[in-house]
Amino acid sequence: MRVCKFLLTCSIGLLAAAFGPTVALAQAPSPLQPVPQVIPPPQPFKTAEEHYKFLKRMNTDGTRHTYESVPHWEGLWSSSYNSINAQGTFVEGAVGLSASGTVKEGVLTPAYEKAYKARRDNMKKYNEQPFDRLTFCEAPGPARWLQEPYVREFVNTPTQSWWMNDLANETRRIYVGQDHKNIDGQHSPDGDSIGFWAGDKLVVWTKDMWPADWFRGLPVFSNEMQMIEVVYMETTNNGLPRLIDQVTFYDPVALVKPISAVYSWQRAYKEEDAGYRIRHWECDSQIQQQDGNLTTIRLPGEGGKSWLQRRAPDIPADLPGQTKTPGEVDFDTVFDQKSGK
């Protein structure tokens, strides 16, 4: 079958050996479930666009589904295994979200590796990352969306796919069979996602997103990050469904070369049986305290730290690729410099 030949292998095998410690809230599958393996792209690609167009050609522009034939992924899903943590993509020897472990060298570009080492050093005093930009009610962003805890919902139609995260009211919308659109020329927290169906697998290309964190305690990515995802549902050998997302991250500013990873979600039957439903996330009640001082939202022009430094004070202010949109001026920084604050 062409989908299996060019997109993914047709089976997920068991790993030969157990894996090391994983980050909390990104647990391993149950013993009855095989650990999903990372399936890299069929060949190396320089850009996400090249990758996406190759897959689309190999699948003759994709499958045209109807409401009756489109894959159904309804229900609640909770985070399960992800290779970013289990295989220590960025840091070796880390335990949970703690400051333990050593930053892997040669994965990030020199500026981003230096910034990440500084972040890890800053974590040692608290044994965790002391500041999280979610304090300011920002969306986690697509890379972190894949790993956040709690539950999600996935709703597919022939023309769109809606991925809803219980955390931060963050919904990703994938526009099926369309091209990228950015009528205001600005990036946004979750970027713009388009896709096509290859049988029962959804291929997604996301771009134009704000720079953000891979996850708390992990490095930041730049405003030139792009993602290719291949998402599908499988039934494991214990008879339970599982959603798999094979992802390749392209970031010429932050990554030495593209990174491929796998994320998975398992059905949250206990939450469903208990009657849990996704509600509005009341972010204001989640404001955290740092060293006894309440962190508050600062409006542009009020002085203090710039947008970059408010959201990530443990990375250099001049780290490239950290404005909301490439080439954009951080007006807060300019204002602060002129005002002397």
Mean pLDDT for 17-26 is 32
Q: Confirm or reject CATH 2.40.128.20 for domain 17-285, answering yes or no.
A: yes
DSSP state of 230: E
Q: Higher pLDDT residue, 320 or 48?
A: 48
Q: Is residue 74 pLDDT above 90, yes or no? A: yes
Domain locations in the chain? 17-285
Q: Is residue 66 pLDDT above 50, yes or no? A: yes
CA nearest to 75, candidates 282, 280, 281, 265: 265
Please give the pLDDT value at position 300: 43
Tally of CB atoms within 10 A around 15: 12
Please give the pLDDT value at position 153: 97
- Give the CA distances from residue 188 to residues 79, 148, 193, 242, in Å, rounded to whole numbers and listed in that order: 24, 19, 11, 30
Of all residues in the chain, the percent with pLDDT exceeding 90 is 58
Please give the pLDDT value at position 59: 94
Tens of pLDDT, residue by residue over 235-292, are 988 889 999 999 999 999 999 999 999 999 999 999 999 999 998 877 755 444 445 4
Mean pLDDT for 73-101 is 91
- C-alpha span between 327 and 321 (Å, rounded): 9
Structure tokens at 299: 């409006």
Total residue length of the chain: 341
Q: Is residue 30 pLDDT above 90, yes or no? A: no
Tens of pLDDT, residue by residue over 156-214, are 999 999 999 998 889 999 999 999 999 999 999 999 999 999 999 999 999 999 999 99
Q: Higher pLDDT residue, 333 or 233?
A: 233
Q: Please give the backbone phi and psi of residue 289, each rounded to the nearest 5 degrees, phi first.
A: -105, 140
The answer to whether the predicted template modeling score (pTM) of the entire model surpasses 0.85 is no
Q: Higher pLDDT residue, 283 or 327?
A: 327
List b or e across 31-47, with b for residues whose CB sees 16 or more CB atoms inside 10 angstroms: eebbbbbebebeeebee
Please give the pLDDT value at position 322: 83
Please give the pLDDT value at position 42: 95
